[in-house]
Amino acid sequence: MTADAAGLTGPRFPLSGIALGCDYNPEQWPEQVWEQDVELMREAGVGFVTVGVFSWALLQPDPETFNFDWLDRILDLLHANGIAVDLATATASPPAWLARAHPETLIVDHAGNRLWPGSRQNFCPSSAVFRAAALTLVEALATRYAGHPALAMWHVSNEIGCHNAHCYCDISAAAFRRWLQRRYPDLAALNNAWGTAFWSQWYHDWEEILPPRQTTTWANPTQQLDFARFSSDELLATFTAERDVLRRLSPGVPVTTNFMVMPNVTRMDYWQWAGEQDLISQDHYLDGRLEPVQAQPAELAFCADLTRGLAGGGPWFLMEHSTSAVNWQPVNLAKAPGQLLRNSLSHVARGADAVGFFQWRASAAGGEKFHSALVPHAGTDTKVWREVVELGGVLARVSEAAGTRTQAETAILFDWQAGWALNQGSHPTSLVEYADHPVAIHRALWRLGITVDGVRPGADLSGYRLVVVPTLYLADDACVARLRDFVEAGGQLVITFCSGLVDENDHIRLGGYPGAFRELLGLRSEEIFPLPADCSVHLASRDLAQNGTWTGSLWTELTHLDGAEAIARYLDGPVAGHPAITRNAVGAGAAWYVGTALDDAALTALLNRVAVAAHVQPPVPAPPGVEVVRRSGSQGSYLFVLNHGITATTILTHGYDLVSQKETTGSLTVEPGGSAVVREAY
Ligand code: GAL
């Protein structure tokens, strides 16, 4: 596919169909290899490549000299072979000459250490010198390549904030003060928001204010929260500065930067970033440190569903994932046969209209030489290459589904800012990590086969029947009002423990927990009784057949009902006899509260009960471990069936399977590890 032939599948979507692609770093290889590269790309059906992500030092060997010859040659070669280019601005890895001439562009950590060059992404986002150097390069690239026929989209920097999310240098300190002066009308307002009456922290002059650098004991919580907000905004400003140059010099070509929507990477508020992108692109890597292998498909689905939320439900671009192992975990698990296709199709099922990988050819040198790629070290007579070619074929056939939308009636509210506030410590327990709980709730819904959209606080929820709000420690009034509207209009809302405790300034909402949601939930908790790490409590219920079998951990509360009914009570533990799960009828709907971290089976059973009340169902019934998602649009509907289990499964469906290229008349059997995408017939 060539860029000039590219049609838009959605708003400003740059490629037609569902393209296969990857990061391509030809500068790591002699030019003789390039011809072989493009031949193999054609064999696999590669439709796009991201070029130049880490090439600044090659493109600009010194401040006055640009060297574009190699990039000209590779772009021409790609174009001649029908491969579209996602051209990177190359600003992700500043060259050594910049660090040498301007060491003040390097980031300073929490403890005051300036980090040395020698890796990648070492720049202070507030540095005007870095900004000017980056924009000089972007200006030169955009001037040269705006009209190149291979150019399909622009790729600003790379995973912005991955290694340099927070810089504590003096330049950052000054920028932080300017940001605070825009946020607060005066110092009195800042002192009030930061609660500086505590520990004699009043500020009498803006110049006294610093980033929350390493100090004796807890830094001011609101200072930390505002610094996290500032840092996200400051990194976003590096994106918008480059984007604006590209829009001026290369109008009409979409601009993106690849997000890292993953549970453990939470330092950018992507709800703020999303509206600045021409299209949402995302990188996802399975992480064996976070999830056991059998839970990984659900974690992937969580990230993809949240990415779709960032894309407003429309198509998004999977910029990177891996064909097999990565190199950056303690043990880098290789993918099992079939997993590459299942992982890719799960992203597509959840709205990705392009499937990209890091990277084309496995490096022979450098810090990522053991990272998998489309072309492994061992060459093309390999499982990975055969599966890449298979994927290219499947995506070509599934391309007819491009532009259709994933169907969901259930939403999970996710908020990076609430996570920053919760994870900074000095709370009732340090065992409650924010992202664990949205992921656990999503996993329970995944087991039930229910497709879920990720939504932002304050989102319009009128299109949903069931909304879950996990551990939303911080909630502002607008968010609370939207949730109330949703319930009153007939929605089923589930809020879990450790929610609504503080306002947007991280001040306790007084009068009892969970402050922001007390009224909506019809209850009041007077004291929190967190549980030690190895401790759990048992639950009893009049109307659920689970007496003593459901357990809770991490958190309990001494709760009094104030209009709600108790669905389950604690059998034992510090608040034995008190409500653990409640339900409050409000308007045409109901607000449920779960006051403890339920075990997975209990969470699944409870959510099943609420889903029944909400009339939410899976697209098609399937056994646990079989992922079934529907995408539909004007061209029809497509049922994605991904069997992550170890036994064959049979699904009731009628249509044509684009993977096996067979008619399915009434039922379809998918082998263990297998995948199907059925164009449904009615
Ligand atoms: C991503 C990054 C790539 C590569 C990859 C390895 O975070 O964008 O450049 O480092 O990880 O998994």
How far apart are the C-alpha atoms of 232 and 224, rounded to whole Å? 12
Q: What is the helix (H) or strand (E) element at residue 320, kind and residue range?
A: strand 316-320
Is the predicted pLDDT of residue 8 greater than 60, yes or no?
Answer: no
Catalytic residues: 159, 320
Q: Tell me the pLDDT tens digit for each residue of 217-246.
A: 999 999 999 999 999 999 999 999 999 999
What was the pLDDT predicted at 264?
73
Q: Could you identify the atom of ligand 1 that is nearest to the CA of residue 158?
A: 8
| C-beta of 371 in contact with ligand 1 (< 6 A) | yes
pLDDT at 265: 62
Q: Which atom from ligand 1 is nearest to the alpha carbon of 319?
A: 8
Give the separation between CA 583 and CA 592, rounded to whole angstroms: 4
Q: What is the pLDDT of residues 147-161, one digit of tens each?
A: 999 999 999 999 999
Q: Which pLDDT belongs to residue 140?
A: 98
Cα–Cα distance measured from residue 148 to residue 290, given in angstroms and rounded to the nearest whole number: 42
Res. 583: pLDDT tops 70: yes
Q: How confident is the model at residue 292 (pLDDT cuts 50, 70, 90)?
A: confident
Is the CB of 158 inside a 6 Å radius of any atom of ligand 1?
Answer: yes
Task: Look at the chain and count its residues.
Answer: 682
- When pLDDT is averaged across residues 609-637 and rounded to a whole number, the result is 96
Q: Is 120 in the pocket of ligand 1 (CB under 6 A)?
A: no
Which pLDDT tens digit goes with each residue over 384-431?
999 999 999 999 999 999 999 999 999 999 999 999 999 998 999 999
d(CA 519, CA 480): 10
Of the candidates 137, 325, 102, which has an alpha carbon nearest to the alpha carbon of residue 238?
Answer: 137
Q: How many whole angstroms from 479 Cα to the centroid of ligand 1?
A: 34
**Count of beta carbons in the 10 Å neighbourhood of residue 285:** 18
Mean pLDDT, the chain, whole residue set: 96
Q: What is the mean pLDDT of residues 514-523?
A: 98
- Beta pairing partners, 637: 632
* Residue of 24, 50, 283 to test ligand 1 pocket, by largest number of atoms within 8 Å of CB: 283
Cβ count within 10 A of residue 588: 10
Q: What is the pLDDT of residue 6?
A: 36
Q: Regarding predicted confidence, which is higher, 263 or 99? A: 99
pLDDT of residue 9 exceeding 70, the answer is no
- Looking at residue 294, what is its pLDDT? 84
For 635, residues 6+ apart whose C-beta sits below 8 A from its C-beta are: 400, 401, 403, 404
**Protein residue with its CA nearest to atom 5 in ligand 1:** 358
The predicted structure's pLDDT at residue 425: 86
Tens-place pLDDT, residues 627-661? 999 999 999 999 999 999 999 999 999 999 999 99
Please tell me whether the overall predicted TM-score, pTM, comes out greater than 0.95 for this model.
Answer: yes
Ligand 1 centroid to 431 CA: how many Å? 29
Residues whose CB is less than 8 angstroms from the CB of residue 531 and which lie 6 or more positions away in sequence, other chains included: 429, 537, 552, 553, 554, 555, 556, 573, 574
| 338-391: pLDDT as tens digits | 999 999 999 999 999 999 999 999 999 999 999 999 999 999 999 999 999 999
In this prediction, residue 295 carries a pLDDT of 87
Query: Which residues are within 8 A (CB) of 673 and not within 5 positions of it... i.e. 6 or more apart?
Result: 336, 337, 338, 339, 342, 643, 644
The per-residue pLDDT for 483 is 98
pLDDT digit string, tens, across residues 52-62: 999 999 999 99
Give me the pLDDT at residue 12, please.
Answer: 67
- DSSP output for 216-252: SSPPPHHHHHHHHHHHHHHHHHHHHHHHHHHHHHSTT
Separation between Cα atoms, residue 246 and residue 278, nearest integer Å:
12
Q: 542: pLDDT confidence band, cut at 50, 70 and 90?
A: confident
Give yes or no for residue 358 CB within 6 A of ligand 1.
Answer: yes
CB 285 near ligand 1, within 6 Å: yes
